[in-house]
């Protein structure tokens, strides 16, 4: 029996659930010498889902650095640079005679489904009389005979998800493989495309060895296409499929089952209550003992201290960026080659700037970003959390999301380190106001865990919701990352183009707010977010874009839509001063588009919004608008939207 461990590209941490487990089972040195670890760098997804260039560099460079880290720790780590994920996995298992393949539950649901599909199809195409009888798959409705098992420690949250047995509402159209178009895009990330497989190996330093180990294999058999039927092609004989064994994720603080237990039976899943439970459960920012334990400082939430408008000349500390090392330079060159190849095939270029690239790409560098945040920005995190300032893309934000999401940092270690550095008892912490410390911890222990828990709790129909039946296609300037004519939008898009980053309020109150007001197709906008952001993952996009940003879930997450006129942007940013539009105007050619769209949105959906008690005040304002004024505003909105049509 040879044991293989598949590490996915967002699980780049030696605390990965499987590695310590195998060390425990076989002893550390035997596990490292005899089990094989596989990491796959696949480029086929880009055919359908072109990602921001800097995101690609981050993903692939971080993966290669992790391979080096594993090898330095004594693991037999293999890296495959390929087009097709499925083909690479099968070839590797065959090459090393892998009989048991261990993997940690992916954060993104479709990734698990795709992996099971690969193994299942492999199994059914290579019936092996020696293969042991395997338990039936634990997926509701699955017809596959996949050779996979769930590790005994794992129970599935789907078993108690509220979606499980309910008829699908807003059921999206499925293709001949039973996939929706969104599923297909996600599945493409571990592509089933019938591409020629090219393998390149990395040397011990993690550098690609040109020509080394170059193997050309025949295409995998299951060629899924979004628009057509599967085209069966001859299957290379890879022998019997290994047994795929899932392990519960160690990447989050709350397991899916714990979240489900918390959520079960609650009428409203309020983030604030979840966050307080997390503070108690993990003993974060608490004082006292036993039943008398209370939140540090006597209150749970300091949000009211953290909403300041930007003052004149407000500037945050310079973030910590890194010079690309040899591995990163090789990946940058690869992305440049990919671009050239796309160009030669008449495909659109990848979005975003490739250089200068300064993101951390290893755990070592990510830890340095955390320490730099603590030293330079933690104290100032709170007050200007919601501020947006031209020329200041990062202010006091931590820039930690890409690293936590890839596994380079574990959320608990980040929270504990922040608490240690900022706790009033720490010698150097006197300058860290509790409001700032609590503010950032709430984002990670509260919002981040809540977002992940909800993603699995709400189930697979959630991303297809479209409460307002919005269907407008995305304007071309979103894809171009500029030239909308609106100063707020163009500033945020320019910053996004440069690094793949925008901070929370820019995402929520400029980008998503525009999408909500303009009635952009929620699924198309979610995919756009997913492609453009340095920290984009399915699990975090859905609740943030579909739920918080667009209210496409009809209020399962937010109690009211985050809809705001230009007035909010003017109050919280410096953008309006340099804009060709007038933020005080609601109609006419100079009117701020956020104003006309805001009133148009309220008027369009007045009946639905009237039912929401938290919208009562604004609906009253709408009702008080003279009809001729509302007509002029709506005509301005219509003219704006007409001009955006692709
Ligand atoms: C429309 C929209 C899209 C978003 N897309 C993503 C995304 O693709 N990936 C992503 O990681 N976050 C996303 N977020 C959440 C949040 O905006 C980012 O996590 C944050 O801006 C990352 O920057 P930072 O590390 O400087 O965060 P900080 O402001 O410094 O916050 C600290 C940390 O808290 C966590 N956090 C804060 N808010 C959230 C949240 N709402 N959900 C989950 N985690 C949170 C992140 O890990 C972040 O690193 C999105 C929010 C919105 C409204
Ligand atoms: S005036 Fe309107 S469009 Fe211009 S920056 Fe302000 S909010 Fe944005």
Q: How confident is the model at residue 162 (pLDDT cuts 50, 70, 90)?
A: very low
Same domain, 415 and 312: yes
Q: Which residue's CA is the closest to the ligand 1 atom numbered 46?
A: 401
Report whether residue 508 contacts ligand 1, using a CB cutoff of 6 Å. Answer: yes
* DSSP code per residue over 569-594: HHHHBSGGGG-SSBTT-SSSTTB-HH
Q: How many domains does the chain have?
A: 3
The answer, yes or no, to whether residue 235 has pLDDT greater than 60, is: no
Within a domain: residue 22? yes
pLDDT score of 126? 61
- Among 424, 458, 492, the domain boundary falls at 458
Same domain, 403 and 529: no
Within a domain: residue 468? no
Report whether residue 569 contacts ligand 2, using a CB cutoff of 6 Å. Answer: yes
In this structure, are residues 38 and 70 in contact, taking their beta carbons and an 8 Å threshold? Answer: no
Same domain, 629 and 555: yes
Report whether residue 504 contacts ligand 1, using a CB cutoff of 6 Å. Answer: yes
The answer, yes or no, to whether residue 170 has pLDDT greater than 80, is: no
pLDDT score of 461? 94
The answer, yes or no, to whether residue 165 has pLDDT greater than 70, is: no
Report whether residue 492 contacts ligand 1, using a CB cutoff of 6 Å. Answer: no
- Among 247, 279, 309, the domain boundary falls at 247
Q: How confident is the model at residue 598 (pLDDT cuts 50, 70, 90)?
A: very high
For residues 496 and 158, the model is more confident at 496
Worst-scoring range by mean pLDDT, 29-43, 83-97, 215-229?
215-229
Torsional class of 265: left (φ above 0), alpha (ψ -120 to 50), beta (otherwise): left
* Ligand 1 atom closest to the CA of 405, numbered from 1: 11
Mean per-residue pLDDT for 540-550? Answer: 96
Determine the 3-state secondary structure of 66 from DSSP: helix
pLDDT digit string (tens) for 258-272? Answer: 999 999 999 888 999
In this structure, are residues 36 and 5 in contact, taking their beta carbons and an 8 Å threshold? Answer: yes
pLDDT score of 18? 94
pLDDT digit string (tens) for 194-223? Answer: 232 233 334 444 343 433 322 222 222 222
Report whether residue 579 contacts ligand 2, using a CB cutoff of 6 Å. Answer: yes
Worst-scoring range by mean pLDDT, 20-29, 181-190, 330-339?
181-190
Mean per-residue pLDDT for 143-171? Answer: 38
pLDDT score of 232? 42
pLDDT score of 218? 24
pLDDT score of 239? 76
Ligand approaching nearest to the C-alpha of 390: 2
Report whether residue 532 contacts ligand 1, using a CB cutoff of 6 Å. Answer: no
Same domain, 533 and 427: no
pLDDT score of 240? 82
Mean per-residue pLDDT for 161-186? Answer: 42
Length of the chain: 646
Report whether residue 238 contacts ligand 2, using a CB cutoff of 6 Å. Answer: no
The whole model's pTM is what?
0.86
pLDDT score of 209? 40
Within a domain: residue 336? no
Within a domain: residue 332? no
Report whether residue 544 contacts ligand 1, using a CB cutoff of 6 Å. Answer: yes
Within a domain: residue 417? yes
Within a domain: residue 154? yes
Report whether residue 350 contacts ligand 2, using a CB cutoff of 6 Å. Answer: no
Averaged pLDDT score across all residues of the chain: 84
**What CATH number has the domain bearing residue 572?**
1.10.579.10
How far apart (Å, rounded) are the C-alpha atoms in residues 258 and 491?
A: 41
**What CATH number has the domain bearing residue 427?**
1.25.40.80
How far apart (Å, rounded) are the C-alpha atoms in residues 224 and 231?
A: 7
Residues 6+ apart with CB under 8 A from 240: 99, 123, 126, 128, 130, 131
Q: Which residue's CA is the closest to the ligand 1 atom numbered 37?
A: 443
Q: Which residue's CA is the closest to the ligand 2 atom numbered 8?
A: 488
Ligand approaching nearest to the C-alpha of 399: 1
Within a domain: residue 549? yes
Q: Which residue's CA is the closest to the ligand 1 atom numbered 43?
A: 448
Within a domain: residue 35? yes
Q: Can you tell me which residue has the tokens 């930007």? A: 310
pLDDT score of 217? 23
Mean per-residue pLDDT for 561-583? Answer: 97
**What CATH number has the domain bearing residue 197?**
3.40.50.620
Q: How far is the CA of 533 from the centre of ligand 1 (A)?
A: 10
Q: Can you tell me which residue has the tokens 């704006």? A: 640
* Residues in a beta bridge with 37: 5, 77
Report whether residue 533 contacts ligand 1, using a CB cutoff of 6 Å. Answer: yes
pLDDT score of 236? 55
**Which DSSP category does 456 fall into?**
H
Same domain, 609 and 627: yes
- Residue 152 domain boundaries: 2-247
pLDDT score of 322? 98
Most confident of the ranges 141-155, 283-297, 378-392: 378-392
- Among 187, 212, 247, the domain boundary falls at 247
Q: How confident is the model at residue 238 (pLDDT cuts 50, 70, 90)?
A: low
Mean per-residue pLDDT for 396-402? Answer: 97
Worst-scoring range by mean pLDDT, 116-130, 185-199, 356-370?
185-199
* Residues in a beta bridge with 3: 100
Count Cβ neighbours within 10 Å for each residue of 102-133 and write b for 16 or more, e otherwise.
bbbbbbbbbbbbbbbbbbbbbbebbeeeebee
Most confident of the ranges 113-127, 256-270, 278-292, 440-454: 440-454
How far apart (Å, rounded) are the C-alpha atoms in residues 158 and 140?
A: 9
Same domain, 450 and 492: no
| Angle (nearest 5°) at CA 212 between 210 and 216 | 105
Q: Which residue's CA is the closest to the ligand 1 atom numbered 48?
A: 401
* DSSP code per residue over 128-143: -TTSPP-PPP--TT--
Mean per-residue pLDDT for 19-45? Answer: 91
Same domain, 85 and 189: yes
Q: How confident is the model at residue 291 (pLDDT cuts 50, 70, 90)?
A: confident
How far apart (Å, rounded) are the C-alpha atoms in residues 84 and 537?
A: 20
Omega prior to 356 cis, within 30 of 0: yes
Residues 6+ apart with CB under 8 A from 283: none
Question: Long-range contacts for 288-297 (Cβ within 8 Å, ≥24 apart)?
Answer: 296/423, 296/424, 296/434, 296/438, 297/434, 297/438
Same domain, 241 and 278: no
Same domain, 500 and 532: yes
Q: Smallest Cα–Cα separation from 358: which of 322, 393, 332, 399? A: 322
Ligand approaching nearest to the C-alpha of 452: 1
Q: Which residue's CA is the closest to the ligand 2 atom numbered 1?
A: 583
pLDDT score of 200? 35
SS3 content of the chain, % helix, strand, coil (to 5): 50, 10, 45
Q: Which two tokens stand for residue 404?
A: 């936590």
Worst-scoring range by mean pLDDT, 296-305, 379-388, 457-466, 536-545?
296-305
* Ligand 1 atom closest to the CA of 508, numbered from 1: 53
Report whether residue 543 contacts ligand 1, using a CB cutoff of 6 Å. Answer: no
The answer, yes or no, to whether residue 181 has pLDDT greater than 70, is: no
Report whether residue 593 contacts ligand 2, using a CB cutoff of 6 Å. Answer: yes
Q: Is the dihedral of CA 421, 422, 425, 429 positive or negative?
A: positive
Q: Which two tokens stand for residue 406?
A: 């890839």
Proportion of the chain above pLDDT 70, given as a percent: 82
The answer, yes or no, to whether residue 545 has pLDDT greater than 60, is: yes
Same domain, 48 and 176: yes
Same domain, 290 and 225: no
Backbone angles phi, psi at 113, to 5 degrees: -60, -40
Q: Which two tokens stand for residue 417?
A: 């380190």
* DSSP code per residue over 320-377: ------HHHHHHHHHHHHHHHHHHHTTPPPPSS---S-----SHHHHHHHHHHHHHHT
Q: How confident is the model at residue 237 (pLDDT cuts 50, 70, 90)?
A: low
Report whether residue 545 contacts ligand 1, using a CB cutoff of 6 Å. Answer: yes
Same domain, 234 and 104: yes
The answer, yes or no, to whether residue 193 has pLDDT greater than 70, is: no
């Amino acid at each position: 029996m040879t044991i293989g461990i598949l590490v996915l590209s967002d699980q780049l941490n030696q605390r990965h659930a499987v590695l310590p487990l195998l060390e425990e089972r076989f002893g550390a040195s035997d596990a490292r010498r005899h089990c094989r670890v596989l990491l796959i760098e696949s480029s086929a997804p880009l055919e359908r889902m072109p990602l921001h260039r800097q995101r690609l560099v981050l993903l692939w460079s971080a993966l290669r650095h992790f391979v080096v880290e594993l090898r330095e720790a004594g693991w037999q780590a293999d890296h495959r640079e390929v087009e097709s994920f499925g083909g690479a996995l099968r070839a590797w298992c065959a090459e090393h005679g892998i009989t048991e393949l261990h993997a940690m539950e992916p954060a993104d649901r479709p990734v698990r489904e795709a992996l099971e599909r690969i193994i299942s199809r492999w199994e059914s195409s290579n019936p092996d009389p020696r293969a042991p009888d395997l338990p039936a798959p634990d997926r509701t409705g699955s017809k596959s005979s996949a050779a996979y098992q769930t590790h005994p420690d794992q129970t599935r949250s789907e078993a108690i998800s509220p979606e499980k047995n309910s008829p699908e509402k807003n059921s999206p159209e499925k293709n001949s493989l039973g996939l929706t178009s969104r599923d297909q895009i996600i599945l493409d990330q571990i592509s089933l495309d019938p591409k020629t497989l090219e393998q390149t190996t990395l040397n011990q330093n993690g550098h690609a060895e040109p020509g080394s180990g170059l193997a050309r294999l025949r295409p995998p058999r299951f060629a899924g296409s979004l628009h057509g039927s599967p085209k069966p092609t001859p299957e290379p004989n890879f022998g019997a499929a290994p047994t795929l064994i899932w392990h519960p994720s160690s990447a989050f603080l709350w397991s899916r089952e714990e979240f489900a237990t918390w959520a079960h039976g609650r009428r409203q899943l309020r983030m604030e209550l979840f966050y307080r439970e997390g503070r108690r459960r993990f003993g974060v920012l608490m004082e006292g003992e036993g039943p008398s334990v209370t939140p540090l400082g006597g209150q749970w939430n300091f949000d009211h201290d953290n909403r300041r408008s930007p003052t004149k000349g407000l500037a945050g500390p310079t973030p910590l960026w890194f010079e690309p090392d040899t591995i990163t330079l090789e990946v940058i060159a690869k992305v440049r080659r990919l671009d050239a190849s796309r160009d030669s095939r008449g495909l659109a270029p990848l979005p975003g700037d490739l250089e200068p690239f300064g993101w951390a790409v290893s755990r070592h560098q990510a830890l340095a970003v955390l320490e730099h945040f603590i030293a330079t920005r933690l104290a100032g995190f709170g007050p200007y959390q919601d501020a947006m300032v031209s020329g200041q893309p990062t202010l006091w934000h931590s820039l930690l999301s890409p690293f936590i999401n890839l596994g380079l940092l574990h959320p608990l270690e980040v929270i504990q380190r922040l608490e240690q550095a900022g706790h009033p008892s720490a010698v150097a912490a006197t300058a860290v106001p509790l409001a700032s410390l609590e503010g950032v911890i709430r984002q990670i222990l509260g919002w981040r865990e809540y977002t992940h828990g909800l993603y699995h709790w709400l189930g697979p129909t959630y991303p297809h919701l479209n409460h307002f039946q919005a269907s407008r296609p995305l304007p071309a300037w979103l894809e171009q990352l500029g030239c909308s004519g609106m100063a707020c939008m163009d500033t945020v898009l320019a910053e996004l183009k440069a690094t793949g980053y925008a901070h929370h309020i820019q995402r929520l109150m400029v980008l998503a707010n525009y999408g909500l007001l303009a009635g952009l197709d929620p699924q198309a906008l979610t995919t756009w977010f997913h492609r453009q952001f340095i920290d984009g993952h399915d699990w975090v996009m859905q609740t943030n874009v579909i739920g918080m940003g667009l209210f496409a879930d009809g209020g399962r997450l937010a109690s009211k839509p985050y809809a705001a006129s230009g007035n909010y942007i003017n109050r919280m940013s410096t953008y309006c001063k340099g804009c060709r539009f007038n933020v005080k105007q609601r109609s006419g050619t100079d009117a701020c588009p956020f104003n006309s769209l805001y009133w148009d949105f309220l008027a369009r959906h007045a009946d639905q919004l009237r039912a929401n008690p938290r919208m009562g005040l604004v609906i009253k304002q709408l009702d008080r608008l003279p009809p001729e004024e509302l007509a002029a505003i709506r005509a301005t909105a219509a003219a704006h939207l007409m001009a955006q049509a692709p």
